[in-house]
Amino acid sequence: MIDAGAVERNCRVLKERVGEGAELCAVVKANGYGHGAAVSAAAALRGGASRLAVAAASEAEELRLHFPETPILVMGALTEDELRTALVARADVALWRDGYRQLCSQLAAELGRRARVHLKLDSGMGRLGERDPSRLTELARACAADDRLEIAGVWTHFATADEEDDAFMGAQLADFAPVAEAVREIGPGCTVHAANSAATLREPRSHFDLVRCGVAIYGMDPFQQDPARLELEPALELRSYVADLKPRAAGESAGYGRRFVARDDTVLGVLPIGYGDGVRRALSDNADVLVAGRRRPLVGTISMDNLTVDLGARPEVGPGTPAVLIGVDGGDRLTAEEMARRVGTINYEITCGLTPRVPRVYHRDGEPA
Q: Which active-site residues does the annotation give?
A: 29, 256
Quote the CA–CA distance of 308 and 93 in Å, as a whole number: 46
Give the dihedral sign, CA 20/22/27/33.
negative
Query: 93 near 115, Cβ under 8 Å?
Result: yes
Chain centroid to CA 141: how far? 34
Helix (H) or strand (E) holding 24: strand 23-27
Query: 64 near 85, Cβ under 8 Å?
Result: no
Tell me 236's DSSP state. B
Quote the CA–CA distance of 364 and 255 in Å, as a whole number: 38
Query: 272 near 306, Cβ under 8 Å?
Result: yes
Quote the CA–CA distance of 334 and 295 in Å, as a whole number: 9
Closest CA to 232 of 224, 244, 243, 240: 224
Closest CA to 271 of 238, 236, 222: 238
Quote the CA–CA distance of 9 and 15 in Å, as a whole number: 10
Closest CA to 211 of 8, 11, 3: 11
Give the dihedral sign, CA 14/16/21/24.
positive
Residue 147: count of CB within 10 angstroms of its CB = 10
